Amino acid sequence: MASNPPQEELLRALRDQGITSEQVLDVIAKTPREKFVAAGQESVAYNNTALPIDCDQTISQPLIVAMMTEALELTGTERVLEIGTGSGYQAAILSPLCREILSIERHRELSEQAAARFADLGIDNVRLFLGDGSLGLPSEAPYDGILVTAAMPETNETIGAFLRQLREGGRLVAPVGSAKGQTLRVYERTPHGYETRDLCECRFVPLIGEHGQTTDDDANAAPTDTEDAT
Ligand code: SAH
């Protein structure tokens, strides 16, 4: 399955920490994380840790990527929205497990790097958007799943906007809390509202923008218009 010893070790760690979906483990085994990390970080690409990428952002910890992916319970037919393209790694993991991924990023440089990686790896079911994803991407809604990969404030306004973009039965997986620490939470949209369950504590870089964290001094740098990056 996995092609090199560090990758095999990573897969063992993911199993030990409760990842049971063979499909998710198989995609992680087949996806070269070393192509998604920053130059010079290839030797630690299979560590089970988040790593720095350009624009002061991070590629998420593999365990968190696996948990978020598993929580969507994908069957292959879904359209999934990702907030925060970053390196593109999470979208690459989703790619074989669903029909289409729409991923929005506020940094053009990161979006362009991710597009180049997808082209290199033959990944052709990810549509990239540039703009403020703190409001979701209402123009393309509804979605079967939404992954927020930046720390989302726990306000009804923010969460409500995402839930409205979900199809009934769809799931939103998001780290909710302050910029300092969050709970990874699954919201499932039901006929009567939604149900939640908590997966673990986690720490993501902040969601910036209109519905993002209010304490980050980087907030003014967010582009305001959404544009199709592909
Ligand atoms: N999913 C990524 C991890 C991304 S880190 C991966 O697999 O590598 C979080 C990303 O969210 C960063 O790239 C950051 O720029 C982006 N981000 C933060 N606020 C955003 C917003 N309002 N809209 C779009 N992207 C945002």
pLDDT tens digit sequence for 80-104: 999 999 999 999 999 999 999 999 9
Give the C-alpha separation, 130 to 71, whole Å: 26
pLDDT in tens, 199-221: 999 999 999 999 999 874 444 44
Q: For the chain, which residues score pLDDT lower than 70?
A: 1-3, 216-230
57: β partners? 53
Is there an atom of ligand 1 within 6 Å of 83 CB? yes
Q: Which two three-digit tokens encode residue 76?
A: 């292959």
Q: Take atom 10 of ligand 1 and give the residue whose Cα is closest.
A: 84
Task: Look up the CATH architecture of domain 6-228.
Answer: 3-Layer(aba) Sandwich (3.40)
Q: Take atom 24 of ligand 1 and give the residue whose Cα is closest.
A: 105
Tell me if 129 sits within 8 A of 136, measured CB to CB.
no
Is there an atom of ligand 1 within 6 Å of 147 CB? no
Q: What is the pTM for the complete model shown? A: 0.93
Q: What is the pLDDT of residue 223?
A: 43
> Could you say which DSSP state residue 170 is in?
E
Quick one: which atom of ligand 1 is closest to the CA of 92? 7
Q: What is the pLDDT of residue 217?
A: 45
In angstroms, what is the span from residue 80 Cα to ligand 1's centroid? 15
Q: What is the pLDDT of residue 48?
A: 97
Is there an atom of ligand 1 within 6 Å of 129 CB? no
Give the C-alpha separation, 53 to 59, whole Å: 6
Give the C-alpha separation, 176 to 179, whole Å: 9
Q: What is the pLDDT of residue 229?
A: 65
Give the C-alpha separation, 174 to 168, whole Å: 17
